Amino acid sequence: MITASPGIYETNTAAQAPAESEPLSFDETVRRARIFCESLPPDFAHCARMLAELQTRLSKGRLHFAILGQFNRGKSTFINALLRIKALPTSVLPLTSVPTIIEYGAKQTCRIRFLDGLEDVIVADSAAKIESALRQYVAEENNPKNRLQVKDATITCPSDLLANGTALIDTPGFGSTHLHNTQTTLDLLAECDAALFLLSADPPMTQTEMEFLRQVKERIPKLFFILNKVDLLSEPELEEVDRFIRGILSRELGFDSGTALYRTCAIKGERAANEEMADKAWAQSGLDAVKKEVLGFMVREKYFTLSEALSGKYQEIIAGVRERLEKKLSGKLTPINAAQQEVSAITGAIQSLSLELESQARRCAEEKDELIAKFDAQARGDAGGHSALSMEKALNAILNGKYFPEEAASIAATMLPKHAADAGARLLASMVNSANKSVRTLALHHTLALANLQKRYAELLGGGDGNGAKQQEPSAEKFIAQIEINTPDGGAAFGSAAWETPQPQMMDIFKKKSVRLDAIKEFYGPLCSSCVSANIEKAAKEARALVDAAWEKMLASIRASYQEMIDTLRGIHRQKQMAVEREREAVKEDVAFLKKKIKECPGG
Q: Following DSSP, what letter does each residue of 293-315 receive, concatenated?
A: HHHHHHHHHHHHHHHHHHHHHHH
| Pair (430, 281) in one structural domain | no
Domain that holds residue 21: 13-54
H/E/C letters for each residue in 467-533? CCCCCCCCCHHHHHHHHCCCCCCHHHHCCCCCCCCCCCCHHHHHCCHHHHHHHHHHHHHHHHHHHHH
Q: Which among 216, 201, 189, 206 is positioned nearest to 266, based on CA atoms?
A: 201
Task: Say what the pLDDT of residue 472 is.
Answer: 65
Question: Is 213 a domain residue?
Answer: yes
Query: What's the alpha-carbon Rg for the chain, to the nearest Å?
Result: 51
Res. 138: pLDDT tops 60: yes
Give the chain's mean pLDDT. Answer: 81
Question: Is 138 a domain residue?
Answer: yes
Q: Which long-range contacts (CB under 8 A, 24 or more apart) does 298-302 make?
A: 298/63, 298/164, 298/166, 301/222, 302/61, 302/63, 302/164, 302/166
Question: Is 403 a domain residue?
Answer: yes
Amino acid at 562: Y
Task: Say what the pLDDT of residue 27 is.
Answer: 80
| Pair (115, 215) in one structural domain | yes
| Pair (474, 490) in one structural domain | yes
Q: Which among 391, 376, 408, 316 is positioned nearest to 539, based on CA atoms?
A: 376
| Pair (29, 162) in one structural domain | no
Q: What is the mean pLDDT of residues 219-228?
A: 86
Task: Say what the pLDDT of residue 325 is.
Answer: 93
| Pair (101, 118) in one structural domain | yes
Q: Is 459 helix (H, G, I), strand (E, B) or coil?
A: helix
Question: Is 319 a domain residue?
Answer: no
**In contact, 457 and 565? CB cutoff 8 Å:** yes
Res. 186: pLDDT tops 50: yes
Number of folded domains in the chain? 3
| Pair (110, 45) in one structural domain | no
Least reliable range by pLDDT among 31-35, 77-81, 389-393, 435-439? 389-393
The DSSP secondary structure of 46-106, one letter per residue, reads HHHHHHHHHHHHHHHT--EEEEEEBTTS-HHHHHHHHHTS--S---SS--B-S-EEEEE-S
CATH number of the domain enclosing 211: 3.40.50.300
Q: Which long-range contacts (CB under 8 A, 24 or more apart) does 14-18 make?
A: 15/39, 15/600, 16/600, 17/602
Q: Is 272 helix (H, G, I), strand (E, B) or coil?
A: helix
| Pair (241, 265) in one structural domain | yes
175 against 315, higher pLDDT: 315
Task: Say what the pLDDT of residue 344 is.
Answer: 93
Question: Is 581 a domain residue?
Answer: no
Single pTM value for the model: 0.54
Q: How far apart are CA 286 and CA 289, in angstroms?
A: 6
Highest mean pLDDT among 83-97, 173-187, 202-216, 230-244: 230-244
Question: Is 445 a domain residue?
Answer: yes
Task: Say what the pLDDT of residue 347 is.
Answer: 92
- pLDDT digit string (tens) for 410-461? 887 888 888 888 888 888 888 889 888 988 888 888 888 888 888 888 888 7
Res. 372: pLDDT tops 50: yes
Task: Say what the pLDDT of residue 405 is.
Answer: 79
- pLDDT digit string (tens) for 455-491? 888 888 776 555 555 556 777 788 888 888 887 765 5
| Pair (99, 171) in one structural domain | yes
Least reliable range by pLDDT among 146-150, 274-278, 483-487, 566-570? 274-278
**In contact, 108 and 130? CB cutoff 8 Å:** yes
Res. 303: pLDDT tops 70: no
| Pair (408, 551) in one structural domain | yes
Last residue of a domain, one of 285, 305, 327: 285
Res. 45: pLDDT tops 80: yes
Question: Is 297 a domain residue?
Answer: no
Least reliable range by pLDDT among 269-273, 424-428, 545-549? 269-273
Question: Is 1 a domain residue?
Answer: no
Task: Say what the pLDDT of residue 10 is.
Answer: 39
329 against 499, higher pLDDT: 329
Q: How far apart are CA 149 and CA 163, in angstroms?
A: 30
Least reliable range by pLDDT among 75-79, 174-178, 536-540? 174-178
Other Cβ atoms closer than 10 A to 233 = 19
- pLDDT digit string (tens) for 106-122? 888 999 998 877 888 99
Task: Say what the pLDDT of residue 5 is.
Answer: 45
Q: How far apart are CA 453 and CA 474, in angstroms?
A: 11
Q: Tell the burial category of 314 from Cβ atoms under 10 Å away from its Cβ (0-12, 13-18, 19+).
A: buried
| Pair (445, 543) in one structural domain | yes
Alpha carbon separation from 124 to 149, 245, 263 (Å, rounded): 22, 41, 34
Amino acid at 476: A
| Pair (35, 79) in one structural domain | no
Q: Does an H or E element contain 152, and which?
A: strand 150-157
Last residue of a domain, one of 253, 285, 317: 285
Task: Say what the pLDDT of residue 514 is.
Answer: 78
Q: How far apart are CA 583 and CA 333, in angstroms?
A: 10
Q: Is 196 helix (H, G, I), strand (E, B) or coil?
A: strand
Task: Report residue 98's pLDDT band, with 50, 70 and 90 as the boundaries.
Answer: confident
Q: How far apart are CA 226 and CA 212, in angstroms?
A: 16
| Pair (267, 352) in one structural domain | no
Task: Report residue 330's pLDDT band, with 50, 70 and 90 as the boundaries.
Answer: very high
